[in-house]
Structure 1
């Protein structure tokens, strides 16, 4: 199943962001450090490139991501023209305080008393834009919650003598092209619950964990390496149900609750520091997609 989620207010928010892009100097684009490309909105890239605006790419929730993988993503983005990348947690005020100076470096022509530096925060839902805004302001202005699409309207505020910043609603795009992107977004809580199927998302997550972080799975659920090696993604869900005593009437394993346990353990960081994609796996996925398209065209 391909996951899609594009609430009606997002179309209006996209139009508003496009209008605002003409009057800002730097885009602060927040992505999830655990899935930086899957959480990069292609519409944001399109809008800023149309206006030739530089981008500070902020990999938020870096405290939940695999630090080795995050370093690889920083190098990947720093190699792109007009972009600077930074990994942080928006809950860390000292890290957030660095952002205006970094944006100033990307727009050196705004370092005078004539015109202020104008920044705009953009990104997908529930990636931490409002938390970042509040940290920059050192007060609670933007509404924050652990659900996608909390912010519904733009907010522009002065954060310094010559610095203004605009917070925008979370934006997805009308069609998620790659099924694995939808699953990563759903696992990371960027998509509303009405658009996802918990057991499918959990099986996808279990597959990634089996392939790349089996030691974290074994540690979290007290499994031996031998027991873990015999499991496939569905088997992981079943084993969690057994380990946690999650049963339906009649003693049948409650796979829905077990799927929810796995997803919540990932989201909260209880499994450990996990990245769902790397620059290498992203490249391999895109190469495979291109090959499938070529084969379809040939037939």
Structure 2
């Protein structure tokens, strides 16, 4: 299966970010804690040269805690500030404000020496589609400041949000990059819902997830759906369909429906806390 999704509005969004970068002190980059490296847009490092950087490991409640810790250390070694966050429930959000001040300490000190007092830190919030930017901003602001949606492409334009006297945020649309060099990255992004499901083969995607879980989290599917293991992922999909009574006319198994059910369960954390990529393999 080949993964690619780069609608026209993303080119426009990237241009808008390039035009606004001169106004910015800090880049707050949201990544999905289940796939922290795959969910980083490689263009952001180029865009954010010489800017203070903060990585938000969002949806950290859906990833294994030991890997959250490992990824936190990985990014800190690369010079980023890092905060683990669960935007939907507000976990970790309170600590973000103080980390923003810490990340911009040098800039605030420079301003003070030049007699510029109380100028707010201006932060650009970036990230790929469906990584939770709008939910994060609303959680941080304590109000519905940004539009949210559980599908990619909800935020279309830019908007400034004043958090308080110290911080102003620039919300930006989620953008991917034009070409995935590594199709494994495309697969991981498809699994977490950052590529529109409409352009994907759901059963193939579910089969890939089943393969990964069998290798890294044996027993998870068997326990969740009360089924027995099988080496063939499509047989497993059939067993999930049977267990969950996904049927079409004539009592045939509806594996398409079972695949969608499995993907939803995974994305919502109903299979437990699962991490799809690990730092040491990336550095090897």
Q: Normalising by structure 2, what TM-score? A: 0.92
Q: State whether structure 2 residue 257 is matched by structure 1 residue 257.
A: yes
Unaligned runs of 5+ in 1: 285-299
What is the aligned residue count? Answer: 277
Task: Indicate the residue corresponding to 1:101 in structure 2.
Answer: 98
Change (3 A) 1:217 1:281: farther
Between 14-23 and 231-240, the greater mean CA deviation after superposition:
231-240
Return the offset for 1:281.
3.6
Task: Indicate the residue corresponding to 1:234 in structure 2.
Answer: 234
Between 154-163 and 29-38, the greater mean CA deviation after superposition:
154-163
Task: Indicate the residue corresponding to 2:70 in structure 1.
Answer: 72
Task: Indicate the residue corresponding to 1:43 in structure 2.
Answer: 43
Change (3 A) 1:47 1:252: same
1:1-299 aligned at under 5 Å gives the runs 1-49=1-49, 52-81=50-79, 83-93=80-90, 95-108=92-105, 109-110=107-108, 112=112, 113=117, 115-223=119-227, 227-228=228-229, 230-283=230-283
SS state at 1:272 partner: coil
Between 143-152 and 132-141, the greater mean CA deviation after superposition:
132-141
Between 268-277 and 110-119, the greater mean CA deviation after superposition:
110-119
Q: Normalising by structure 1, what TM-score? A: 0.88
Q: Work out the CA distance in 1 between the residues paired with 2:100 and 2:118.
A: 17
Give me the CA root mean square deviation: 1.6
**1:51-108 CA distance string (max 9 Å, x none):** x112111010011111111111111111112x11121101243621221221211111
Unaligned runs of 5+ in 2: none
Q: Work out the CA distance in 2 between the residues paired with 1:47 and 1:198.
A: 34
Q: Which portions of structure 1, spanning 4 or more consecutive aligned residues, are displaced by more than 6 angstroms?
A: none
